[in-house]
């Protein structure tokens, strides 16, 4: 009890230090809201002290208080050596800034960064053991995503970050700024950073893709938790950022921002939490292209058919990205055009495929317009698909369900109903169950909609 009381006192003290820092940097917090550690879905949150109408400004933070590669004390050096810090993630400059600021006693953002002491409480799946990830998250796609993350983080640190900090021992120390701390800061950026939207480009003919804006830390904004049915949104202005209510809030209601349309597997992978089933209206399940391949391969009976099938799948592989998947939500397909093309290709007759090769693709026709395709793969349209298409989707969904292991949907449903012992924001088993169960529900509904 004494230890818990001390933890609460320490958290309260850090929160007060942060609020005093907010006053000093010119962050204006509405009198109608307050930060709290009680009555919120996570350790910190924002709560309405009074009724709030739609369109009210909840807080305003000047851009000078944001923490990113251009505001950090080491911004000059990061800018000077920008070319040596390029990476596939684009996060290295911000992460170097965080390595410096989080370990500097004189940091301008010390009171802000102290809200996450040592970044030890972050509980993304990347901090679970491999055995725990593989057991609890099998089939969800998260173990594979985490493996990719950890490999990229280690390579980025070893190839770019470590040589850089070794060149500047007056600012960084490899014994302090370790791979472990770097990985924790990657998780911190994943969970708490914001990216400013690109400005609208009036030149519609400009096909050149601009790189996304780098991430930045936005104190106060990252204290708000996420739900899909949010009630506030962050607005970017030239001199400041504002959190604005997007619907009325009642006194005592928690203020929720949105991190975007995120399925539970994405929330757990990137932010370390899930929305309780069935509250996440953006939940999805993936059917890997490999499962569609296995489903289609079952029809191959002879060597000539095998050669034709391999040719078709080679074309499909050129159309799809490596490790691609077809995404389904609770309302039906989300990757409609990709799935339509795949099914059309795999179910072609020999003559149709020969014509397809001769024409180097499909001829444009009105049959394949986007609205019709979208409707065809909605829950309402799936039962009316061609029988050959339904059978492939059905079998691919069945194969995908097998990847989750032995636990059946009803077993997980019983855990959901009786799982009081699993509940709590610290329970990894409970969060994993939310992801697994939501995905299985979508796939089982798909089986029902495509049954013969």
Domain CATH code at residue 375: 3.90.1420.10
pLDDT band at 359 (very low <50, low <70, confident <90, very high): confident
Q: Are the CB atoms for 400 and 326 separated by under 8 Å? A: no
Could you report the per-residue pLDDT of 371-391, keeping only the tens digit for each?
Answer: 899 999 999 999 999 999 999
What's this model's pTM, rounded to 2 decimal places? 0.92
**Any idea what DSSP says for residue 161?**
I
> 34 — phi, psi (to 5°)?
-150, 155
130 part of a folded domain: yes
Using alpha carbons only, what angle is made at residue 19 by residues 15 and 25, rounded to the nearest 5 degrees?
140
How much is the average pLDDT of 271-300?
94
pLDDT band at 202 (very low <50, low <70, confident <90, very high): low
Could you report the per-residue pLDDT of 414-431, keeping only the tens digit for each?
Answer: 888 877 666 655 589 999
Verify that 290 and 399 share a domain, yes or no: yes
DSSP 3-state of 148: helix
**pLDDT given at position 204:** 47
Q: Are the CB atoms for 346 and 316 separated by under 8 Å? A: yes
- Strands, E assignment, 26-143: 28-29, 33-36, 45-48, 57-62
Q: How many CB atoms lie within 10 A of CB 109?
A: 22
Verify that 186 and 225 share a domain, yes or no: no
Q: Are the CB atoms for 265 and 64 separated by under 8 Å? A: no
Inform me whether the pLDDT recorded for 60 exceeds 90: yes
89 part of a folded domain: yes
329 part of a folded domain: yes
Verify that 123 and 225 share a domain, yes or no: no
Verify that 372 and 303 share a domain, yes or no: yes
5 part of a folded domain: no
Verify that 168 and 228 share a domain, yes or no: no
DSSP 3-state of 215: coil
**pLDDT given at position 399:** 97
24 part of a folded domain: yes
Inform me whether the pLDDT recorded for 27 exceeds 50: yes
Q: What is the distance in angstroms between the CA of the first residue and the CA of the last residue of the chain?
A: 60
**Any idea what DSSP says for residue 408?**
-
Verify that 335 and 408 share a domain, yes or no: yes
Query: Domain range spanning residue 346?
Result: 284-450
Chain-wide mean pLDDT for the chain? 92
Inform me whether the pLDDT recorded for 207 exceeds 50: no
36, with CB counted inside 10 A (0-12, 13-18, 19+), is middle
Residue with more model confidence, 91 or 412: 91
Q: At what angle do helices 350-358 and 303-319 cross, to 10 degrees?
A: 40
How much is the average pLDDT of 84-104?
97
Query: How many domains does the chain fold into?
Result: 3
Q: For residue 450, what are its two tokens?
A: 């495509």
Using alpha carbons only, what angle is made at residue 222 by residues 218 and 224, rounded to the nearest 5 degrees?
140
202 part of a folded domain: no
Characterize the bridge pairing of strands 225-226 and 254-257: parallel
**pLDDT given at position 116:** 94
């Amino acid at each position: 009890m004494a230890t818990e009381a001390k933890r609460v006192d320490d958290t309260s003290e850090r929160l007060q230090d942060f609020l005093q820092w907010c006053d000093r940097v010119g962050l204006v917090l509405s009198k109608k809201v307050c930060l709290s550690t009680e009555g919120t879905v996570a350790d910190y949150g924002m709560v309405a002290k009074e009724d709030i109408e739609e369109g009210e400004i909840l807080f305003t933070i000047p851009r000078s208080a944001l923490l990113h590669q251009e505001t950090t004390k080491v911004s000059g050096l990061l800018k000077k050596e920008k070319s040596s810090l390029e990476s596939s993630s684009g996060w290295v400059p911000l992460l170097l800034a965080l390595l410096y600021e989080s370990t500097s006693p004189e940091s301008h953002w010390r009171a802000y960064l102290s809200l996450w002491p040592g970044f030890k409480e972050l509980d993304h799946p990347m901090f679970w053991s491999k055995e725990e990830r593989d057991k609890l998250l099998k089939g969800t796609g998260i173990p594979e995503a985490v493996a990719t993350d950890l490999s990229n983080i280690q390579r980025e640190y070893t190839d770019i970050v470590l040589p850089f900090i070794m060149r500047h021992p007056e600012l960084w120390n490899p014994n302090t700024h370790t791979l472990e701390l770097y990985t924790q800061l990657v998780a911190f950026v994943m969970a708490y950073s914001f990216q400013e939207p690109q400005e609208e480009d009036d030149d519609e003919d400009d096909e050149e893709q601009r790189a996304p804006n780098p991430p930045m830390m936005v104190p106060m904004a990252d204290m708000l938790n996420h739900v899909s049915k949010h009630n506030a949104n962050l607005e970017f202005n030239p001199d400041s950022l504002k959190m604005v209510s997007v619907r009325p809030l009642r006194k005592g209601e928690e203020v929720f921002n949105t991190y975007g349309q995120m399925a539970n597997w994405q929330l757990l992978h990137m932010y370390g939490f899930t929305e309780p089933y069935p509250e996440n209206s953006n939940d999805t399940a993936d059917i890997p292209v490999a499962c569609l391949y296995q489903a289609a391969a079952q029809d191959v009976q002879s060597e000539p058919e095998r050669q034709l099938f391999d040719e078709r799948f080679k074309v499909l592989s050129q159309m799809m990205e490596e490790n691609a998947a077809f995404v389904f939500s609770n309302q039906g397909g989300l990757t409609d055009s990709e799935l339509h093309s795949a099914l059309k290709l795999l179910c072609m007759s020999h003559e149709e495929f020969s014509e397809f090769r001769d024409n180097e693709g499909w001829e444009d026709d009105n049959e394949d317009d986007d609205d019709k395709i979208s409707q065809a793969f909605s829950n309402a349209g799936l039962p009316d698909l061609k029988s050959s298409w339904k059978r492939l989707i059905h079998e691919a969904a069945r194969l995908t369900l097998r990847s989750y292991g032995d636990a059946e949907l009803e077993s997980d449903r019983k855990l959901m109903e009786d799982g009081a012992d699993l509940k709590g924001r610290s329970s990894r088993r409970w969060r994993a169950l939310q992801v697994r169960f939501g995905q299985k529900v979508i796939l089982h509904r798909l089986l029902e909609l495509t049954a013969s």
